[in-house]
Amino acid sequence: MSTHPKSERTKKENRIERLVAVSNRLPIAVQRKGGGWQVQAGSGGLITAITPVLKNRGGLWIGWSGTTEEVDWGEELNIASQKSGYRIHPVTLTPEELENFYFGFANEVIWPLFHDLTTRCNFNPKYWYFYLQVNDKYAETIGKYSLPSDYIWVQDYHLIAVAQMLRKRRIARRTGFFLHIPFPSPDVFMRLPWRAQLLRALLEYDLIGFQTVRDRRNFINCLQYIAPNLKTSGRGDVLTIQVDGRTVRVGAFPISIDYENFASTSAGSAVQTKLHWLRESMGGSQIVLGVDRLDYTKGLPERLKSFRLALERHPDLHRKLTLVQVLVPSRTDVPEYQQLKSEVERLVGEINGQFTYGGWAPVLYMFRNLGYEELLAYYRAAQIALVTPIKDGMNLVAKEYCACNLEEEGVLILSEFAGAAAQLQKNALLVNPHDIEGVADAIYRAFTMDPEEKKARMKRLRESIKKNNIFSWVDAYLAAAFSKKLDDFPTEEEYVPDIRLEREQDS
């Protein structure tokens, strides 16, 4: 029983006191090891972005455990929660749910459709019912582990229907949604068999956040097809829509990185040592760097073909420029991803076969997760970054590379179809990733760019990312949601857990 007098309690429940992040992946994932379980750090753009926001904030993160088995967590969850400074609560999916919700609806419907790759879509009706079922499972978990005074902040395309499910279950919470991937234009979106239901589900949130103004415009344009009577009003960053007597806000909030952390860690001695070794081992060749999750949205074959063309056209690049391509394994059980891996490896083999000379191979290829410091050493060592997705919500690699470019001598080549282009276009070399000749030219231009121009461009890139960092992103979002800033939320030390909730969690 609460010890607060009634009036005080009502006042307290009207206040937003804790952030509850909800996403498909947690910042940790478990894997079977021997007879037990091993807890590992989770990875992906969303985790990189949200982790510094919740860190030591006394909040809660709800997400999938990473397995379909019942996990005996023992003390592991408490240890992970203590280390991170927020509570972690896993949701378990059955094998059938994983198959139809994650591999099905998320990966075969929304992912390709929202990246404009409609021919890769599989609109299997069964997937939709599992999508709703799993979103409802998340809503049930939120109802159990959160309080009316919490702000439920749902992340990404896997969980669009969560607010709708909360409402169906009569779980009253303030809710916000953020889409990390692009939102397509009507001519693409309207192919979705569940287009009206998905838009309706989005409108159940109090605030819907997109990465760019273009994504927000696409969303509003799609709404106009489905519900022409809905009126959008306002100007600037956040618009409002009146839906069934409620106000829904819709904004563009470009996500970013913990700039200071990247910049200071890359200046530290651990990175410095690795950097020294890396430079030695390159034998005087410059590095053009690609770091991507292995995904068909990243434009990998096109990038390799562009690099090959640059080598064919400019022999002065031979032995002077090496493409270091890091591919982070992703969705490794999916045949399309296996085929992409084979295609990439075939192209790498062809290029190396064509140009390798003496001790120089033009492409150094890694298919693995790099450690944080190793990654930062590559960022620092690279004279050029090649970020050329066919389509991308934001692409944080572009921002991470600049944050780590302490000497301000690097050049960022950036796809015009990455969300990051909206912010970085003036000082990056903007390219169309489908234009093999254009990208090859950009590589050569970056290689031959005057040092002063490089410096001026990189300086401005870094200033802009430093200013628009992950904390200003979350502040902009929270200000739009309810005029709050991140610092208004209690830190881990200040947060007083609610006794009712603690009891519920323990039972």
Structure tokens at 272: 């410095």
Indicate the residue among 114 and 205 with the shorter CB distance to ligand F6P. Answer: 114
Indicate the residue among 362 and 419 with the shorter CB distance to ligand F6P. Answer: 419
Indicate the residue among 255 and 363 with the shorter CB distance to ligand F6P. Answer: 255
Helix (H) or strand (E) holding 321: strand 321-328
Measure the CA–CA gap between 295 and 398, rounded to whole angstroms: 16
Q: Which residues of the shown chain bind ligand F6P in the complex (CB under 6 A)?
A: 24-25, 44-46, 156, 180-181, 293, 330-331, 393
180 is catalytic: yes
Find out whether 41 and 27 touch, Cβ atoms under 8 Å: yes
Indicate the residue among 45 and 59 with the shorter CB distance to ligand F6P. Answer: 45
Min dist CB 299 to ligand F6P, Å, is 15
What secondary structure does DSSP assign to 429-459, as a single string?
EEE-TT-HHHHHHHHHHHHH--HHHHHHHHH
Measure the CA–CA gap between 196 and 176, rounded to whole angstroms: 20
Min dist CB 14 to ligand F6P, Å, is 32
Distances (CA, A) of 405 to 152, 266, 317, 401, 489: 36, 9, 22, 6, 32
Q: Where are the beta strands (DSSP E) in 216-281?
A: 232-233, 238-243, 246-252
Min dist CB 457 to ligand F6P, Å, is 26
- 275: buried, middle or exposed (CB in 10 Å: 19+, 13-18, 0-12)? buried
Find out whether 471 and 120 touch, Cβ atoms under 8 Å: no
Find out whether 279 and 381 touch, Cβ atoms under 8 Å: yes
Min dist CB 293 to ligand F6P, Å, is 5
Structure tokens at 225: 């097809």
Indicate the residue among 98 and 147 with the shorter CB distance to ligand F6P. Answer: 98
Min dist CB 334 to ligand F6P, Å, is 9
Q: What is the DSSP pairing of strand 87-91 with strand 18-25?
A: unpaired
CA 226 to chain centre: 28
Indicate the residue among 13 and 116 with the shorter CB distance to ligand F6P. Answer: 116
392 is catalytic: yes
CB burial readout 235-269, b (16+ within 10 A) else e? eeebbebeeeeeebbbbbbbbbbbbeebbebbeee
Count CA atoms closer than 13 A to 184's CA, side-chain side: 20
Min dist CB 133 to ligand F6P, Å, is 19
The one catalytic residue in 89, 115, 158, 180 is 180
Measure the CA–CA gap between 225 and 190, rounded to whole angstroms: 9
Helix (H) or strand (E) holding 131: helix 125-145
Min dist CB 339 to ligand F6P, Å, is 17
The one catalytic residue in 215, 392, 441, 475 is 392
Q: Which among 241, 226, 230 has a CA at the least distance from the CA of 190?
A: 226
Residue with tokens 């007083």: 496
Indicate the residue among 49 and 481 with the shorter CB distance to ligand F6P. Answer: 49
Closest residue to bound ligand F6P by CB: 44
Q: What is the DSSP pairing of strand 246-252 with strand 238-243?
A: antiparallel
Indicate the residue among 101 and 495 with the shorter CB distance to ligand F6P. Answer: 101
Min dist CB 57 to ligand F6P, Å, is 20
* Catalytic residue positions, numbered: 180, 392
